[in-house]
Amino acid sequence: MESINEQFIKIFESSPDLYLLLSPGLVIVSASDAYLKATLTKRQHITGHKLFDIFPDNPQDPNADGVSNLGTSLAYVLQHKAPHSMRVQKYDIPTPGGAFEERFWKPLNSPVLDERGEVIYIIHKVEDVTGQELAKREVEQQQKETQDLKAAEKVHIENLKESEARFFKIFNLSPVATLMAEAPTGKLIHINKAFEKLFGINSEAAVGKTLTELKINDEAKREEMRRQIAANGNRLNEFELDIPVGSGEIKNMLLSLEAIELDNKPCFLVTMVDISQRKQMENSLNKANHFLDTILENIPDMVFVKDAKDLRFVRFNKAGERLLGFSSEDLIGKNDYDFFPREQADFFIAKDRAVLDEKQLLIIDEEPIQTKNGDRWLHTKKIPIVENGNPIYLVGISADITEQKKHQDAILQLNKELESFSYSVSHDLRTPLRAITGYAQILEEDYSKVINDEGRRLLKIISGNAEKMGMLIDDLLRFSRLGKKELQKKETDMAALTEASISDIIRGKAYNADIQTDIKHRIYSDESLMKLVLINLIGNALKYSSKKEKPVVNIWSEEKGDDIVFSVKDNGVGFDMRYVNKLFGVFQRLHSVEEFEGTGVGLAIVQRIITKHGGKVWGKGVVNEGATLFFSIPKNSPAGQAV
């Protein structure tokens, strides 16, 4: 199962918002896919780099102050440990070609604090407001031009004598490419400055000619345009054309035409609005939607989207169709009650409502579902899509874990049988073992006079091996019971538990080892089992370093990533790393019984206990230089926390 941190990173990276995760040193740690797309970057190219190395100021803009303003905001967050919202910033971004693209952003910088209140990350959230700013700029310009137009119109009304001059002033000031042409010949009478600029032609060269003669036309649509003009009474409203401009580029235009009179002569007033940028944005949006659709349809897991109001399906991918046996057309517009038994539909709907009410990700590790293809088991994540604080959609991602669950169930059954077998064997061995020990003791006590020295030596060997066999049986029973034992967790002072374990180990034994401890963490654990872990690990370290002139054992704890790691190191005989995979196996020994006593079960017990706590065990060693054994407890689970 993925850790919560891994799940968070996946959710963080797939967020539709523009996020950047920074270290306190302003090094880029991660970024959402939406941020990468908006800034024309790739995750592998920016992660691990300084923020301003990736996003410098535009060297072509002498007024660029994005780096300075953003740096000031981030410094505020680091100093005050509080969020800082910035005003809209002009901060151009570098393109893959080496140029810079004009962009406007609305940033919000927020600290992520650890339990001590220290900043460990900064979440840099931005909203790309380039379109709004450019639109605002255009609206302001249009408002100014509209005001000029209204002023000109007012003067025109107040002074009829200057009406013609005022009209042409307005005509020439219009930001929209405009012309007047004779009707019905189509010969140009006047063109304005915007027309001259757009098509790269001056008034003297244009007047008296038709648009066709000036090659400002769309031959493919000319007849259709004429038909619509005639059908609409010499009027045309926003007819779309593809027209070449002065640079030779083909522009998307909206042409509008109105019949007027000028000096008592019929004329056409024509305007042309360049919509090329808008069309490009529409095409880009269509491509992006197609791209997302392609990804969605090729994801191997079932993905569905429901509306938040009625929980009706609005999207369903092909993997979901194959899994459930229903087509997308069958599902769209309907809800779970249309396809599943009521009890099962109630379960699905309840989970959906919980996700939408709490506005939080929900992970359902296992849920059964009835499909046209039979009963299946799913691992499901449900995610609320929130807009302006209100959920609008619910996204579900379900992986078919039916086969995996069958394997897990088979493994659990096998483990139960194995534990039962070990337990039975261990108990069955005790009777003959007691007989061997008893008869050996009788021979030694009652027949000592008739048994020679060799016989007594053999009896000691028998008794010694019987004692070792008893220890092995005890370890086997302990190992078997671990599989059945429920953990009784409580807050555990690992420093105190380590000292208690050391006292138990050295009591009555002559160890001359220098034991050094540096345990800094508490954990939530089954204290009796955790003590068994420490006794096995520390006992091993003392045993395998006992033949050194100055044995040294070091025991410490530290935080590493998402784990609290405990380490036990000795300077003893060590081991060959080629055989490290045998270290925690039952009856797997890397040294002979003649060298060091033991049953070969202790480290297997350690591994089983730590695994039940959600952790891991591993080791490293060098022959004749010592070994270090490690175990970890995850920080992001109730089992582990720092002091």
Residue 235 Cα distances to 238, 260, 269, 569, angstroms: 10, 10, 10, 91
Q: How far apart are CA 336 and CA 611, in angstroms?
A: 39
Given a cut of 80, is residue 426 above it in pLDDT? no
Whether the Cβ atoms of residue 104 and residue 129 lie closer than 8 Å to each other: yes
Residue 86, SS3? coil
Q: Which residue has the higher pLDDT, 529 or 569?
A: 569
pLDDT of 171 reads 79
| Structure-derived torsion over alpha carbons of residues 112, 118, 121, 125, reported in degrees to the nearest 10 | 40
Mean pLDDT of 64-90: 94
Q: What angle do CA 330, 333, 336 make, to 5 degrees?
A: 75
* Helices 453-482 and 402-446: angle between axes, nearest 10 degrees: 150
- pLDDT per position as a tens digit, 116-148: 999 999 999 999 999 898 888 888 888 888 888
Given a cut of 50, is residue 347 above it in pLDDT? yes
Whether the Cβ atoms of residue 557 and residue 550 lie closer than 8 Å to each other: no
Domain covering 176-278 in this structure, CATH number: 3.30.450.20
Given a cut of 50, is residue 225 above it in pLDDT? yes
* Residue 183: burial class (beta carbons within 10 Å; 0-12, 13-18, 19+): middle
| Nearest partner of 567 among 634, 642, 501, 617, judged by Cα | 617
pLDDT of 639 reads 43
List of long-range contacts for 86-94, beta carbons under 8 Å, 24+ apart: 88/129, 88/133, 90/64, 90/66, 90/133, 91/55, 91/64, 91/66, 92/57, 92/58, 92/61, 92/64, 92/66, 93/39, 93/40, 93/55, 94/40, 94/55, 94/56
pLDDT of 146 reads 82
| Global pTM value | 0.40
pLDDT class for 384, splitting at 50, 70, 90? very high
Given a cut of 80, is residue 475 above it in pLDDT? no
Residue 265 Cα distances to 16, 135, 156, angstroms: 58, 39, 20
User: Across-strand partners of 390?
Assistant: 387
- pLDDT per position as a tens digit, 429-471: 666 767 777 767 777 777 777 777 777 777 776 766 666 566 6
Instruction: For the chain, give the mean pLDDT.
Output: 83
Across 71-80, 417-426, 464-473, 506-515, which has the greatest mean pLDDT? 71-80
Mean pLDDT of 598-604: 66
Given a cut of 90, is residue 613 above it in pLDDT? no
| Nearest partner of 532 among 563, 504, 554, 552, judged by Cα | 504
| Nearest partner of 344 among 317, 318, 298, 375, judged by Cα | 375
406-482 is classed CATH 1.10.287: yes
Phi first, then psi: give them for residue 371, nearest 5 degrees.
Answer: -125, 175
User: Across-strand partners of 642?
Assistant: 521
Which H or E run includes 98? none
Q: What is the DSSP letter of 597?
A: -
Given a cut of 90, is residue 524 above it in pLDDT? no
Q: Which amino acid is at 3?
A: S
Q: Do the bridges between strand 616-622 and strand 626-634 make them parallel or antiparallel, or are there none, so unpaired?
A: antiparallel
pLDDT class for 1, splitting at 50, 70, 90? very low
pLDDT of 480 reads 57
pLDDT of 597 reads 60
pLDDT of 489 reads 81
Mean pLDDT of 22-36: 93
Mean pLDDT of 182-203: 86
Answer yes or no: same fold for 176-278 and 406-482: no
| Secondary structure E strands in 192-334 | 235-244, 250-262, 265-274, 302-307, 313-316
Whether the Cβ atoms of residue 531 and residue 501 lie closer than 8 Å to each other: yes
> Which tokens is 609 given?
């206990």
Kindly state the greatest CA–CA separation across the chain.
150
Which H or E run includes 539? helix 527-544
Across 165-179, 363-377, 424-438, 498-512, which has the greatest mean pLDDT? 363-377
Q: Which residue has the higher pLDDT, 11 or 306?
A: 306
Q: How far apart are CA 389 and CA 403, in angstroms?
A: 39
pLDDT class for 390, splitting at 50, 70, 90? very high
Whether the Cβ atoms of residue 611 and residue 534 lie closer than 8 Å to each other: no
- CATH match for 298-400 among 3.40.1440.10, 3.40.50.10790, 3.30.450.20, 3.90.79.10: 3.30.450.20
> Which tokens is 626 given?
């010592």
Which range (92-106, 135-149, 153-167, 292-306) has the least confidence?
A: 153-167
Buried b (16+ CB within 10 A) or exposed e, 31-61: bbebbbebbebeeeebeeeebeebbebbeee
Which H or E run includes 375? strand 374-387
3-class SS string, 138-160: HHHHHHHHHHHHHHHHHHHHHCH
User: Which class in CATH covers the domain with range 489-642?
Assistant: alpha beta
Whether the Cβ atoms of residue 547 and residue 571 lie closer than 8 Å to each other: no
| Residue ranges of domains in the chain | 4-128, 176-278, 298-400, 406-482, 489-642
Q: What is the CA radius of gyration of the chain?
A: 40
Q: Which residue has the higher pLDDT, 342 or 407?
A: 342
Domain covering 4-128 in this structure, CATH number: 3.30.450.20
